[in-house]
């Protein structure tokens, strides 16, 4: 029997849900800003802009803000950004994901003890940039086998390894294995959040049984990109879309099983729209 399967874990994670709700709770304030887009989803950002929420991209733009409220997004920021907001006398509303805040505390404490901080993640991702800003000494970011193999420290070096919360769990394990063999005095903190691990595992299992996979999320969403890579590795006919308008229905024809998943910053209404229309298109089921 033909079927369309929607992953149970698709959509907003706890941290993103909390950040978006925080932003909407503050829309009635005058001069409200988010430090960077509240989440990596253009539809949500556009809606908030229509309600008067402006985006401040970086410390230089923050310097031009003289009054109002700044919401820190779920990705978190460096200590220097907190200091800059306070120095300007602006109201600060912190919507950083609690799992990210935990990493900030680990990095701050362990770096003060003199340990070398290694972050497994994407150096250009805002979450990683924020984590780096809590270390009192230079940080090394590792995202590939080559970088893990070429770490420059001598045997016995005191090292603390943490991870970007949305990093690929299997890749994290592979890189940790390489680093662990170098003979460092090492502390490994698996800071990939449970929701990410669950979402990636479910996506992999669903892609293995599906003839076609649809992954929904913003074009700049790191966790959605990782979901796409996982699904593509298991199911060659995998599509990465932001909204229903991006979906090529022709590519799904002949599929007995169509799987759908979505990144942690994808709103439920977009997921539901894709799911409902795919069912209606192929199986005449509009629920």
Give residue-wise pLDDT tens across range 135-147: 999 999 999 999 9
CB atoms within 10 A of CB 273: 16
| 87 and 105 assigned to the same domain | no
Dump strand ranges (E) for 128-252. 140-142, 158-163, 185-188, 212-216, 238-241
Q: Which residue has the higher pLDDT, 213 or 220?
A: 213
| 165 and 134 assigned to the same domain | yes
Query: Tell me: the pLDDT tens digits for 16-52?
Result: 889 999 999 998 888 999 999 988 888 888 999 999 9
Query: Can you give the residue range of the structural domain that contains 118?
Result: 99-188
CB atoms within 10 A of CB 149: 13
Nearest in space to 149 (alpha carbons), one of 176, 171, 187, 128: 176
191 contact partners, CB below 8 Å, separation of at least 6 = 99, 102, 103, 106, 162, 163, 164, 165
| 60 and 118 assigned to the same domain | no
Instruction: Reply yes or no on whether the pLDDT at 1 is more than 50.
Output: no
Mean pLDDT of 201-225: 93
Instruction: Reply yes or no on whether the pLDDT at 286 is more than 80.
Output: no
Which CA distances in Å does 35 have to 59, 63, 107, 281? 9, 12, 22, 40
| 7 and 19 assigned to the same domain | no
127 catalytic, yes or no?
yes
The CA radius of gyration of the chain, in Å to the nearest whole number, is 21
Mean pLDDT of 243-266: 93
| 279 and 199 assigned to the same domain | yes
The CATH number that applies at residue 250 is 3.40.1010.20
Query: Tell me: the pLDDT tens digits for 124-170?
Result: 999 999 999 999 999 999 999 999 999 999 999 999 999 999 898 88
| 111 and 153 assigned to the same domain | yes
| 136 and 164 assigned to the same domain | yes
CB atoms within 10 A of CB 92: 14
- The answer to whether 191 and 198 are in contact (CB under 8 A) is no
CA 9, CA 100: separation in Å to the nearest integer?
20
Please, which pLDDT band fits residue 285 given cuts at 50, 70 and 90? low
The total of structural domains in the chain comes to: 3
Instruction: Select from 53, 79, 96 the last residue of a domain.
Output: 96
Number of residues in the chain: 287
38 contact partners, CB below 8 Å, separation of at least 6 = 19, 20, 23, 44, 45, 48, 53, 71, 73, 74, 95
Instruction: Reply yes or no on whether the pLDDT at 229 is more than 60.
Output: yes
Instruction: Select from 188, 212, 243 the last residue of a domain.
Output: 188
Coil, strand or helix at 90: coil
| The pLDDT of residue 222 | 84
| The pLDDT of residue 162 | 98
The CATH number that applies at residue 33 is 3.40.50.11270
| 110 and 174 assigned to the same domain | yes
Nearest in space to 188 (alpha carbons), one of 137, 116, 124, 131: 116
- Parallel, antiparallel or unpaired: strands 3-6 and 257-262: parallel
Sign for the pseudo-dihedral over CA of 46, 52, 19, 9: negative
Instruction: Select from 38, 66, 96 the last residue of a domain.
Output: 96
Nearest in space to 225 (alpha carbons), one of 168, 144, 142, 169: 168
Burial zone of 121 (CB within 10 Å; 0-12 exposed, 13-18 middle, 19+ buried): buried
* Catalytic residue (one of 127, 129, 197, 202): 127
| 235 and 182 assigned to the same domain | no
């Amino acid at each position: 029997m033909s079927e369309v399967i929607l992953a149970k874990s698709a959509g907003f994670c706890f941290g993103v849900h909390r950040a978006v709700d925080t932003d909407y709770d503050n829309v009635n304030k005058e001069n409200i800003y988010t430090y960077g887009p509240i989440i990596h989803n253009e539809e949500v950002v556009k809606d908030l802009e229509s309600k008067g929420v402006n985006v401040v991209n970086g410390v230089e733009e923050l310097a031009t803000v003289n009054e109002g409220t700044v919401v820190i997004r779920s990705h978190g920021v460096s200590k220097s950004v907190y200091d800059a907001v306070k120095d300007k006398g602006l109201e600060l509303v912190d919507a950083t994901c609690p799992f990210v805040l935990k990493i900030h505390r680990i990095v701050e404490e362990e770096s003060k003890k003199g340990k070398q901080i290694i972050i497994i993640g994407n150096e250009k991702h805002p979450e990683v940039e924020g984590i780096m800003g809590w270390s009192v000494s230079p940080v090394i970011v590792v995202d590939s086998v080559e970088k893990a193999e070429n770490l420059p420290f001598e045997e016995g070096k005191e090292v603390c390894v943490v991870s970007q919360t949305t990093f690929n769990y299997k890749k994290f394990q592979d890189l940790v294995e390489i680093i662990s063999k170098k003979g460092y005095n090492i502390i490994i903190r698996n800071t990939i959040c449970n929701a990410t691990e669950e979402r990636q595992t479910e996506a992999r299992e669903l892609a293995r049984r599906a003839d076609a996979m649809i992954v929904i999320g913003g074009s700049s969403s790191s966790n959605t990109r990782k979901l796409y890579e996982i699904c593509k590795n298991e199911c060659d006919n995998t599509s990465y879309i932001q909204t229903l308008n991006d979906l090529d229905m022709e590519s799904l024809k002949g599929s007995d099983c169509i799987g759908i998943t979505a990144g942690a910053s994808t709103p439920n209404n977009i997921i539901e729209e894709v799911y409902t229309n795919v069912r209606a298109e192929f199986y005449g089921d509009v629920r």
